[in-house]
Protein backbone atom coordinates (compact mmCIF):
# COMPACT_ATOMS: atom_id res chain seq x y z
CA UNK A 1 0.00 0.00 0.00
CA UNK A 2 1.46 3.36 -1.02
CA UNK A 3 1.77 6.53 1.05
CA UNK A 4 -1.38 8.13 -0.34
CA UNK A 5 -3.38 4.98 0.44
CA UNK A 6 -1.87 4.92 3.94
CA UNK A 7 -2.98 8.49 4.57
CA UNK A 8 -6.44 7.70 3.28
CA UNK A 9 -6.75 4.72 5.64
CA UNK A 10 -5.45 6.77 8.59
CA UNK A 11 -7.97 9.49 7.85
CA UNK A 12 -10.75 6.93 7.62
CA UNK A 13 -9.78 5.55 11.03
CA UNK A 14 -9.87 9.03 12.57
CA UNK A 15 -13.25 9.82 11.04
CA UNK A 16 -14.76 6.49 12.05
CA UNK A 17 -16.96 7.55 14.97
CA UNK A 18 -18.45 5.27 17.58
CA UNK A 19 -21.97 5.68 18.91
CA UNK A 20 -24.36 3.85 21.19
CA UNK A 21 -27.83 4.78 20.00
CA UNK A 22 -31.37 4.16 21.10
CA UNK A 23 -32.46 0.58 20.58
CA UNK A 24 -34.69 0.03 17.55
CA UNK A 25 -34.64 -3.74 17.79
CA UNK A 26 -35.78 -6.47 20.15
CA UNK A 27 -33.79 -9.36 21.58
CA UNK A 28 -35.14 -12.81 22.35
CA UNK A 29 -33.46 -16.04 23.40
CA UNK A 30 -33.63 -18.51 20.51
CA UNK A 31 -31.85 -21.31 22.40
CA UNK A 32 -30.13 -21.82 25.75
CA UNK A 33 -28.21 -24.51 27.59
CA UNK A 34 -25.30 -24.57 25.12
CA UNK A 35 -21.74 -25.20 26.33
CA UNK A 36 -19.54 -22.45 24.81
CA UNK A 37 -21.26 -22.29 21.40
CA UNK A 38 -18.80 -21.33 18.65
CA UNK A 39 -20.68 -21.10 15.35
CA UNK A 40 -24.15 -21.32 13.83
CA UNK A 41 -25.24 -22.17 10.29
CA UNK A 42 -28.53 -23.11 8.64
CA UNK A 43 -29.57 -26.07 6.54
CA UNK A 44 -31.98 -25.67 3.61
CA UNK A 45 -34.85 -27.12 5.66
CA UNK A 46 -34.50 -24.34 8.26
CA UNK A 47 -32.70 -26.32 10.95
CA UNK A 48 -29.65 -24.66 12.48
CA UNK A 49 -26.35 -26.35 13.31
CA UNK A 50 -24.60 -25.01 16.41
CA UNK A 51 -21.13 -26.14 17.42
CA UNK A 52 -20.12 -26.38 21.07
CA UNK A 53 -16.40 -25.91 21.65
CA UNK A 54 -16.02 -29.00 23.92
CA UNK A 55 -16.90 -31.16 20.91
CA UNK A 56 -20.63 -31.43 20.30
CA UNK A 57 -22.72 -30.49 17.27
CA UNK A 58 -26.25 -29.45 18.24
CA UNK A 59 -29.41 -28.87 16.22
CA UNK A 60 -32.10 -26.22 16.61
CA UNK A 61 -35.29 -27.42 14.94
CA UNK A 62 -38.61 -25.55 14.88
CA UNK A 63 -37.31 -23.15 17.51
CA UNK A 64 -36.19 -25.88 19.93
CA UNK A 65 -32.69 -27.07 20.82
CA UNK A 66 -32.70 -30.83 20.42
CA UNK A 67 -31.36 -32.62 23.46
CA UNK A 68 -29.33 -35.22 21.56
CA UNK A 69 -26.27 -33.98 19.64
CA UNK A 70 -25.35 -35.16 16.17
CA UNK A 71 -23.26 -38.32 16.31
CA UNK A 72 -20.17 -39.22 14.30
CA UNK A 73 -17.92 -36.25 15.05
CA UNK A 74 -14.20 -36.99 15.19
CA UNK A 75 -12.35 -36.63 18.47
CA UNK A 76 -11.39 -33.01 19.09
CA UNK A 77 -8.58 -31.60 21.18
CA UNK A 78 -10.64 -29.56 23.63
CA UNK A 79 -8.32 -27.48 25.81
CA UNK A 80 -8.12 -23.73 26.39
CA UNK A 81 -9.08 -22.21 23.00
CA UNK A 82 -9.01 -25.57 21.26
CA UNK A 83 -12.08 -27.63 20.45
CA UNK A 84 -14.83 -27.81 17.85
CA UNK A 85 -14.98 -24.66 15.74
CA UNK A 86 -17.22 -24.31 12.71
CA UNK A 87 -19.75 -26.50 10.91
CA UNK A 88 -20.36 -25.14 7.41
CA UNK A 89 -22.95 -26.78 5.13
CA UNK A 90 -22.02 -27.17 1.48
CA UNK A 91 -23.71 -24.71 -0.88
CA UNK A 92 -25.24 -27.79 -2.55
CA UNK A 93 -26.19 -29.46 0.74
CA UNK A 94 -29.71 -30.26 -0.47
CA UNK A 95 -28.13 -32.62 -3.02
CA UNK A 96 -24.90 -33.88 -1.42
CA UNK A 97 -25.63 -33.39 2.32
CA UNK A 98 -22.01 -32.42 2.95
CA UNK A 99 -20.90 -30.44 5.99
CA UNK A 100 -17.37 -29.05 6.46
CA UNK A 101 -16.09 -29.07 10.03
CA UNK A 102 -13.06 -27.31 11.52
CA UNK A 103 -11.62 -28.31 14.87
CA UNK A 104 -8.47 -28.66 16.94
CA UNK A 105 -6.92 -32.07 16.40
CA UNK A 106 -4.14 -33.86 18.24
CA UNK A 107 -2.57 -33.87 21.69
CA UNK A 108 -1.13 -31.26 24.06
CA UNK A 109 2.30 -31.95 22.59
CA UNK A 110 1.24 -31.90 18.92
CA UNK A 111 -2.00 -30.28 17.81
CA UNK A 112 -3.27 -28.34 14.81
CA UNK A 113 -6.36 -27.04 13.03
CA UNK A 114 -8.00 -29.74 10.92
CA UNK A 115 -10.91 -29.60 8.45
CA UNK A 116 -12.99 -32.60 7.39
CA UNK A 117 -16.05 -33.15 5.27
CA UNK A 118 -18.82 -35.58 6.14
CA UNK A 119 -22.37 -36.35 5.03
CA UNK A 120 -25.17 -35.59 7.46
CA UNK A 121 -27.61 -38.49 7.42
CA UNK A 122 -30.37 -37.94 9.95
CA UNK A 123 -28.56 -37.15 13.20
CA UNK A 124 -25.25 -38.76 12.27
CA UNK A 125 -22.20 -37.69 10.28
CA UNK A 126 -20.98 -40.44 7.96
CA UNK A 127 -18.14 -40.98 5.50
CA UNK A 128 -15.73 -38.42 7.03
CA UNK A 129 -12.80 -37.31 4.88
CA UNK A 130 -9.77 -35.33 6.08
CA UNK A 131 -9.34 -32.36 3.77
CA UNK A 132 -6.71 -30.27 5.53
CA UNK A 133 -4.46 -30.35 8.59
CA UNK A 134 -2.28 -27.37 9.41
CA UNK A 135 1.44 -28.04 9.51
CA UNK A 136 3.63 -28.21 11.48
CA UNK A 137 1.80 -29.27 14.64
CA UNK A 138 2.30 -27.13 17.72
CA UNK A 139 2.42 -27.58 21.49
CA UNK A 140 0.16 -24.65 22.43
CA UNK A 141 -3.65 -24.89 22.92
CA UNK A 142 -4.38 -21.44 21.47
CA UNK A 143 -4.58 -19.36 18.25
CA UNK A 144 -6.15 -21.89 15.88
CA UNK A 145 -8.29 -19.62 13.73
CA UNK A 146 -10.94 -22.02 12.48
CA UNK A 147 -13.33 -19.82 10.46
CA UNK A 148 -14.21 -20.91 6.93
CA UNK A 149 -15.87 -19.36 3.88
CA UNK A 150 -16.78 -20.53 0.39
CA UNK A 151 -15.79 -18.62 -2.73
CA UNK A 152 -18.01 -18.51 -5.85
CA UNK A 153 -15.81 -21.05 -7.65
CA UNK A 154 -16.60 -23.62 -4.94
CA UNK A 155 -13.21 -23.44 -3.24
CA UNK A 156 -12.95 -23.19 0.53
CA UNK A 157 -11.03 -20.58 2.53
CA UNK A 158 -9.78 -21.53 6.01
CA UNK A 159 -8.48 -18.95 8.46
CA UNK A 160 -5.63 -20.04 10.75
CA UNK A 161 -3.78 -18.65 13.75
CA UNK A 162 -0.11 -18.26 14.63
CA UNK A 163 -0.15 -20.65 17.59
CA UNK A 164 0.80 -17.71 19.87
CA UNK A 165 4.41 -18.82 20.36
CA UNK A 166 5.19 -18.96 16.64
CA UNK A 167 4.32 -15.48 15.43
CA UNK A 168 7.49 -15.03 13.37
CA UNK A 169 6.37 -18.00 11.28
CA UNK A 170 3.42 -15.95 9.98
CA UNK A 171 5.91 -14.29 7.60
CA UNK A 172 7.21 -17.58 6.18
CA UNK A 173 5.54 -19.54 3.38
CA UNK A 174 6.79 -22.98 4.45
CA UNK A 175 4.20 -23.40 7.23
CA UNK A 176 0.53 -22.66 7.96
CA UNK A 177 0.96 -20.41 11.00
CA UNK A 178 -0.92 -17.12 10.55
CA UNK A 179 -2.29 -17.92 7.09
CA UNK A 180 -5.47 -18.11 5.09
CA UNK A 181 -5.45 -21.25 2.97
CA UNK A 182 -7.62 -22.09 -0.03
CA UNK A 183 -8.45 -25.67 -0.99
CA UNK A 184 -10.88 -27.51 -3.21
CA UNK A 185 -13.66 -29.33 -1.40
CA UNK A 186 -11.93 -32.66 -2.02
CA UNK A 187 -8.81 -31.37 -0.22
CA UNK A 188 -6.75 -30.77 -3.35
CA UNK A 189 -5.01 -27.48 -4.10
CA UNK A 190 -6.48 -25.09 -6.72
CA UNK A 191 -4.08 -24.61 -9.60
CA UNK A 192 -4.45 -20.82 -9.46
CA UNK A 193 -3.43 -20.39 -5.82
CA UNK A 194 -0.85 -17.60 -5.58
CA UNK A 195 2.11 -19.64 -4.33
CA UNK A 196 1.74 -22.93 -6.19
CA UNK A 197 4.85 -22.27 -8.28
CA UNK A 198 6.98 -20.76 -5.50
CA UNK A 199 9.79 -23.01 -4.30
CA UNK A 200 9.42 -24.16 -0.68
CA UNK A 201 6.03 -22.43 -0.33
CA UNK A 202 3.03 -24.48 0.79
CA UNK A 203 0.64 -24.39 -2.16
CA UNK A 204 -2.53 -24.08 -0.06
CA UNK A 205 -1.54 -20.59 1.18
CA UNK A 206 -3.79 -17.78 -0.07
CA UNK A 207 -2.58 -14.91 2.17
CA UNK A 208 -0.17 -14.58 5.09
CA UNK A 209 1.01 -12.31 7.90
CA UNK A 210 -2.03 -12.90 10.12
CA UNK A 211 -2.22 -13.37 13.88
CA UNK A 212 -5.43 -15.21 14.85
CA UNK A 213 -8.26 -15.08 12.32
CA UNK A 214 -11.69 -15.13 13.96
CA UNK A 215 -13.91 -13.69 11.22
CA UNK A 216 -13.96 -14.59 7.53
CA UNK A 217 -16.61 -14.07 4.85
CA UNK A 218 -17.12 -13.57 1.14
CA UNK A 219 -19.67 -10.99 0.02
CA UNK A 220 -21.31 -12.35 -3.11
CA UNK A 221 -22.65 -8.94 -4.13
CA UNK A 222 -19.28 -7.13 -4.20
CA UNK A 223 -16.87 -10.06 -4.49
CA UNK A 224 -14.95 -8.78 -1.45
CA UNK A 225 -13.39 -11.12 1.11
CA UNK A 226 -13.61 -9.62 4.61
CA UNK A 227 -11.52 -10.86 7.51
CA UNK A 228 -10.79 -9.84 11.07
CA UNK A 229 -8.14 -11.03 13.49
CA UNK A 230 -7.05 -10.56 17.06
CA UNK A 231 -4.18 -8.28 17.90
CA UNK A 232 -2.38 -8.71 21.23
CA UNK A 233 -3.01 -5.72 23.55
CA UNK A 234 -4.74 -3.69 20.89
CA UNK A 235 -4.25 -3.91 17.17
CA UNK A 236 -7.34 -5.97 16.33
CA UNK A 237 -7.83 -5.62 12.57
CA UNK A 238 -10.40 -5.70 9.81
CA UNK A 239 -8.86 -6.49 6.43
CA UNK A 240 -9.89 -6.94 2.83
CA UNK A 241 -8.21 -10.12 1.66
CA UNK A 242 -6.53 -10.43 -1.72
CA UNK A 243 -4.68 -13.46 -3.03
CA UNK A 244 -0.95 -13.51 -2.35
CA UNK A 245 -0.85 -10.49 -0.04
CA UNK A 246 1.12 -10.09 3.19
CA UNK A 247 -0.91 -8.56 6.04
CA UNK A 248 2.06 -7.68 8.19
CA UNK A 249 1.97 -9.62 11.45
CA UNK A 250 4.23 -9.44 13.40
CA UNK A 251 6.41 -7.00 11.41
CA UNK A 252 3.71 -4.34 11.19
CA UNK A 253 1.08 -4.08 13.93
CA UNK A 254 -0.82 -1.50 15.98
CA UNK A 255 -0.72 -3.73 19.09
CA UNK A 256 1.82 -4.31 21.85
CA UNK A 257 2.68 -7.53 23.64
CA UNK A 258 0.79 -8.65 26.75
CA UNK A 259 3.95 -7.94 28.75
CA UNK A 260 3.87 -4.33 27.55
CA UNK A 261 6.85 -4.90 25.26
CA UNK A 262 6.82 -3.53 21.73
CA UNK A 263 6.09 -6.25 19.18
CA UNK A 264 7.32 -4.08 16.33
CA UNK A 265 8.19 -0.39 15.94
CA UNK A 266 6.25 -0.36 12.67
CA UNK A 267 2.54 0.07 12.07
CA UNK A 268 3.01 -0.07 8.31
CA UNK A 269 5.71 -1.43 6.01
CA UNK A 270 6.30 -1.45 2.25
CA UNK A 271 4.91 -4.54 0.58
CA UNK A 272 2.48 -5.21 3.43
CA UNK A 273 -1.25 -4.47 3.40
CA UNK A 274 -2.52 -2.09 6.08
CA UNK A 275 -5.79 -2.86 7.89
CA UNK A 276 -8.90 -0.88 7.02
CA UNK A 277 -9.90 -0.63 10.67
CA UNK A 278 -7.97 -1.11 13.93
CA UNK A 279 -9.29 -1.46 17.48
CA UNK A 280 -7.08 -0.35 20.35
CA UNK A 281 -7.71 -1.32 23.09
CA UNK A 282 -8.63 -4.76 21.84
CA UNK A 283 -12.27 -5.82 21.62
CA UNK A 284 -11.29 -9.42 20.66
CA UNK A 285 -13.50 -9.71 17.56
CA UNK A 286 -14.85 -13.22 17.31
CA UNK A 287 -17.41 -13.57 14.52
CA UNK A 288 -18.76 -11.56 11.62
CA UNK A 289 -21.59 -11.20 9.17
CA UNK A 290 -22.25 -8.75 6.36
CA UNK A 291 -25.93 -7.93 6.56
CA UNK A 292 -28.05 -8.43 3.46
CA UNK A 293 -31.23 -9.63 5.15
CA UNK A 294 -34.70 -8.17 4.71
CA UNK A 295 -35.66 -7.13 8.26
CA UNK A 296 -33.26 -4.20 8.67
CA UNK A 297 -32.98 -2.35 5.32
CA UNK A 298 -31.13 0.49 7.07
CA UNK A 299 -28.29 -1.94 7.86
CA UNK A 300 -27.91 -3.42 4.37
CA UNK A 301 -24.26 -3.82 3.47
CA UNK A 302 -22.96 -3.20 7.02
CA UNK A 303 -20.63 -5.48 8.93
CA UNK A 304 -21.58 -6.87 12.32
CA UNK A 305 -18.79 -8.10 14.59
CA UNK A 306 -19.22 -9.95 17.88
CA UNK A 307 -16.66 -9.22 20.58
CA UNK A 308 -15.35 -11.39 23.41
CA UNK A 309 -13.30 -8.92 25.48
CA UNK A 310 -15.46 -5.99 24.40
CA UNK A 311 -18.62 -7.89 25.40
CA UNK A 312 -20.73 -6.22 22.76
CA UNK A 313 -21.94 -6.44 19.18
CA UNK A 314 -20.52 -3.81 16.86
CA UNK A 315 -22.09 -2.55 13.65
CA UNK A 316 -19.58 -1.09 11.20
CA UNK A 317 -21.07 0.99 8.42
CA UNK A 318 -19.41 0.39 5.06
CA UNK A 319 -19.32 3.16 2.46
CA UNK A 320 -17.69 2.32 -0.87
CA UNK A 321 -15.94 -0.62 0.76
CA UNK A 322 -14.49 1.41 3.63
CA UNK A 323 -15.48 1.40 7.32
CA UNK A 324 -17.16 4.57 8.54
CA UNK A 325 -19.36 4.98 11.61
CA UNK A 326 -19.64 2.29 14.27
CA UNK A 327 -22.50 1.46 16.60
CA UNK A 328 -22.11 -0.50 19.83
CA UNK A 329 -24.97 -2.89 20.62
CA UNK A 330 -25.78 -5.35 23.44
CA UNK A 331 -23.12 -3.80 25.71
CA UNK A 332 -25.46 -3.70 28.67
CA UNK A 333 -25.67 -7.49 28.81
CA UNK A 334 -22.01 -7.86 29.86
CA UNK A 335 -21.66 -11.17 28.02
CA UNK A 336 -18.86 -12.53 25.84
CA UNK A 337 -20.15 -12.77 22.27
CA UNK A 338 -18.64 -15.55 20.15
CA UNK A 339 -20.38 -15.31 16.78
CA UNK A 340 -22.93 -13.32 14.79
CA UNK A 341 -24.71 -14.47 11.64
CA UNK A 342 -27.59 -13.38 9.45
CA UNK A 343 -30.35 -15.97 9.60
CA UNK A 344 -32.47 -17.03 6.62
CA UNK A 345 -35.34 -15.05 8.18
CA UNK A 346 -33.31 -11.82 8.04
CA UNK A 347 -32.77 -11.66 11.81
CA UNK A 348 -29.34 -11.44 13.41
CA UNK A 349 -28.28 -14.38 15.56
CA UNK A 350 -25.64 -13.91 18.25
CA UNK A 351 -23.90 -16.65 20.25
CA UNK A 352 -23.12 -16.10 23.94
CA UNK A 353 -19.81 -17.71 24.94
CA UNK A 354 -20.48 -19.30 28.34
CA UNK A 355 -20.93 -22.67 30.03
CA UNK A 356 -24.66 -21.94 29.85
CA UNK A 357 -24.41 -20.30 26.45
CA UNK A 358 -27.30 -18.95 24.43
CA UNK A 359 -28.36 -18.01 20.94
CA UNK A 360 -29.91 -14.55 20.79
CA UNK A 361 -32.22 -13.46 17.97
CA UNK A 362 -32.32 -9.75 17.05
CA UNK A 363 -35.31 -8.53 15.07
CA UNK A 364 -37.07 -5.16 14.60
CA UNK A 365 -39.20 -3.74 17.39
CA UNK A 366 -42.85 -4.56 16.93
CA UNK A 367 -45.18 -1.55 16.64
3-state secondary structure the chain: CCHHHHHHHHHHHHHCCEECCCCCEEEEEEEEEECCEEEEEECCCCCEEEEECCCEEEEEECCEECCCCCECCCCCCCCCCCCEEEEEECCCHHHHCEEEEEEEEECCCCEEEEEEEEEEECCEEEEEEEEEECCCCECCCCCCEEEEEECCCCCEEEEEECCCCCHHHHHCCCCCCCEEEEECCCCCCCCCCCCCCCCCCCCCEEEECCCEEEEEEECCCCCCEEEEECCCECCEEEEECCCCCECCCCCECCCECCCCCCCCCECCCCCCCCCCEEECCCCCEEEEEECCCCCCHHHCCCEEEEECCCCCEEEEEEECCEEEEEEEECHHHCCCEEEEEECCCCCEEEEECCCCEEEEEEEECCC
What residues contact 199, with CB distance under 8 A and at least 6 apart? none
Report how far residue 227's alpha carbon sits from residue 240's, in angstroms, rounded to the nearest whole number: 6
Residue 282's alpha-carbon distances to 143, 214, 306, in angstroms, are 16, 13, 12
Catalytic residue numbers, as ranges: 143
Amino acid sequence: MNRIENLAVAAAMLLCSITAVGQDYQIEIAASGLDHPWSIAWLPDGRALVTERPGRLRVISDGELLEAPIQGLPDVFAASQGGLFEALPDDDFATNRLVYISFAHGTPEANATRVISARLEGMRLVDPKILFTATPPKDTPVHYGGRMAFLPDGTLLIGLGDGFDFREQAQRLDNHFGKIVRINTDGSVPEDNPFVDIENALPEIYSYGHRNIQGLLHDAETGMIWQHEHGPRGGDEINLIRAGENYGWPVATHGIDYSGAIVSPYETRPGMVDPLLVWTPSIAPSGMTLYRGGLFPQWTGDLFISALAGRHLRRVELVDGRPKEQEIMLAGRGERLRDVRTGPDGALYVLIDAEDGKVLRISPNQP
